[in-house]
């Protein structure tokens, strides 16, 4: 309850929550750090230390019953993100070498640079361009499709289907029919791609999953589809949200843009501040495997516990003046990519794409401005934009 007597409710499905959740986050951190939603039945932790602790305690807070507050992950099929050890560890180990520093440096970084240069050339000097649709979304889709071996001519379908997959309706705590249909289309597409790799394997991630064995057994069809779907979704949506958030924040904070223009060597630090200030993934969910007590609150066995990354990343117990965007801030650990054994596998690639894109764009942003209000991605979980109309001339 606020000082004026009005009740505070954290309801991610309510109209307006995605516009500005931060005042509610601040109240939760200070007044109700283990919040219980009587309406939806979940608990929510908002302080940085608590989010970090729960993220690391996978034995008591499981991923295996889903990580999405609206059970979106059920539409994927079984995958390494929604599993616990030993299954999680074995599948992640199978993929890990494709995301190693050497693999990124040798194979992925040149690809990112080529794509960024091509996309920046299209928007540079333009006084009426949607930098969301023309740059921020195409870049991660291009990279993800390359890594998975998806044909370039399929990218328009994949972009459209992934947008429909993320569609949410105000007041509904389950995915609408449009999202379910999109998920079915994407699963069918992935299954067809996997069938093609069995006939003609390549060096992409789908071929790796099709040919892989864990404990002497090949992955099932459901596991191949689920893991491919998860890799595609995680590698596109969240990075696009990082980039669109950065482009909107630079347009709405001209003093920060001016500082970054004078200090281009600080772009890597700026990427971390964008991630902290506007976490692309605002929350994930865990399920308790036993009764747990936090801050004197008893959380029963089998309860859903929401980890509010967006709240944790603005915790004044961890940062000075955390509600202020400060690109000169010395970077420190945040939870935009999670924590513990489920720390985002693709985090190095997301950071790479963010850094290279901003470094290439920066010389063209001296007159950068937003020309119309950006359009938010309608999601209960992701925070970013679909459209960012701007001028670069």
pLDDT of residue 109: 97
Query: Per-residue pLDDT averaged across 263-267, rounded?
Result: 98
Tokens for 276? Answer: 């902290």
Domains and CATH numbers, the chain: 22-391 (1.10.630.10)
Tokens for 330? Answer: 């010395």
* Threshold 0.85, pTM exceeds: yes
pLDDT of residue 18: 75
Q: Please indicate whether residue 392 or residue 168 has the higher confidence score (pLDDT).
A: 392
Condensed to tens digits (0 to 9), the pLDDT of residues 13-22 reads 777 777 899 9
Tell me the sheet residues that pair with 240.
Answer: none
Output Rg (C-alpha) for the chain, integer angstroms: 21
Nearest-5° Cα angle at 37, 306 to 241: 40
Distance CA(308)–CA(47), nearest Å, equals 8
Tell me what the pLDDT averaged over the chain comes to: 92
Confidence tier at 92 by pLDDT (50, 70, 90) = very high
Question: Whats the size of the chain, residue-wise?
Answer: 393
The answer, yes or no, to whether residue 380 has pLDDT greater than 90, is no
DSSP helix/strand/coil, 21: coil
**How far apart, in Å, do the first and last CA atoms of the chain sit?**
48
Distance CA(54)–CA(48), nearest Å, equals 10
Distance CA(63)–CA(58), nearest Å, equals 8
* CB burial readout 44-66, b (16+ within 10 A) else e: bbbbbebbbbbbeebebbbbebb
Query: Per-residue pLDDT averaged across 242-247, rounded?
Result: 99
The DSSP call for residue 104 is: I
pLDDT of residue 174: 66
The H-assigned helical ranges of 200-283 are 205-211, 221-252, 254-262, 267-277
| Residue from 344, 340, 209, 321 nearest 273 by CA | 321
**What H or E segment, with its residue span, contains residue 288?**
strand 283-288
Whether the bond into 86 is cis, omega within 30 of 0: yes
The answer, yes or no, to whether residue 2 has pLDDT greater than 70, is no
pLDDT of residue 252: 98
The answer, yes or no, to whether residue 141 has pLDDT greater than 90, is yes
Condensed to tens digits (0 to 9), the pLDDT of residues 178-194 reads 888 998 999 999 999 99
Distance CA(370)–CA(389), nearest Å, equals 6
Confidence tier at 170 by pLDDT (50, 70, 90) = low
The DSSP call for residue 301 is: T
pLDDT of residue 3: 46
pLDDT of residue 172: 62
């Amino acid at each position: 309850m606020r000082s004026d007597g009005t009740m505070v409710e954290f309801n991610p499905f309510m109209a307006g929550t995605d516009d500005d959740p931060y005042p509610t986050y601040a109240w939760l951190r200070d007044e109700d750090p283990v919040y219980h939603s009587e309406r939806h039945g979940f608990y929510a932790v908002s302080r940085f230390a608590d989010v970090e602790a729960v993220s690391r305690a996978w034995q008591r807070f499981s991923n295996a019953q889903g990580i999405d507050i609206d059970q979106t992950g059920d539409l994927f099929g079984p995958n390494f993100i929604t599993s616990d050890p030993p299954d999680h560890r074995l599948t992640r180990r199978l993929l890990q070498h494709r995301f190693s520093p050497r693999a990124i440096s040798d194979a992925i970084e040149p690809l990112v640079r080529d794509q960024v240069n091509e996309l920046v050339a299209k928007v540079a000097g333009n006084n009426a361009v949607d930098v969301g649709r023309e740059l921020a979304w195409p870049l991660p889709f291009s990279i993800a499709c390359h890594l998975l071996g998806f044909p370039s001519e399929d990218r328009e379908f994949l972009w459209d289907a992934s947008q429909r997959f993320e569609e949410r309706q105000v007041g509904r705590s389950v995915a609408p029919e449009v999202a379910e249909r999109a998920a079915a289309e994407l699963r069918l597409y992935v299954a067809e791609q996997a069938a093609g790799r069995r006939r003609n394997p390549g060096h992409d991630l789908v071929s790796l999953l099709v040919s892989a064995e864990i404990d002497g057994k090949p992955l099932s069809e459901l596991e191949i589809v689920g893991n491919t779907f998860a890799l595609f979704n995680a590698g596109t949506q969240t990075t696009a949200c990082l980039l669109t958030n950065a482009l909107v924040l630079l347009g709405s904070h001209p003093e920060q843009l001016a500082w970054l223009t004078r200090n281009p060597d600080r772009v890597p630090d700026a990427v971390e501040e964008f991630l902290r200030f506007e976490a692309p993934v605002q929350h994930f969910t865990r399920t308790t495997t036993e009764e747990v007590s936090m801050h004197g609150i008893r959380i029963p066995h089998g309860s859903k516990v929401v980890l509010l990354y967006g709240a944790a990343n603005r915790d004044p117990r961890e940062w000075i003046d955390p509600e202020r965007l400060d690109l000169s801030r010395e970077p420190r650990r945040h939870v935009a990519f999670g924590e513990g054994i489920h720390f985002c596998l693709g985090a190095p690639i997301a950071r790479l794409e963010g850094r290279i894109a901003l470094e290439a764009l920066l010389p063209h942003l001296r007159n950068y401005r937003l020309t119309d209000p950006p359009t938010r991605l309608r999601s209960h979980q992701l925070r970013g934009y679909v459209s960012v109309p701007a001028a670069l001339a």
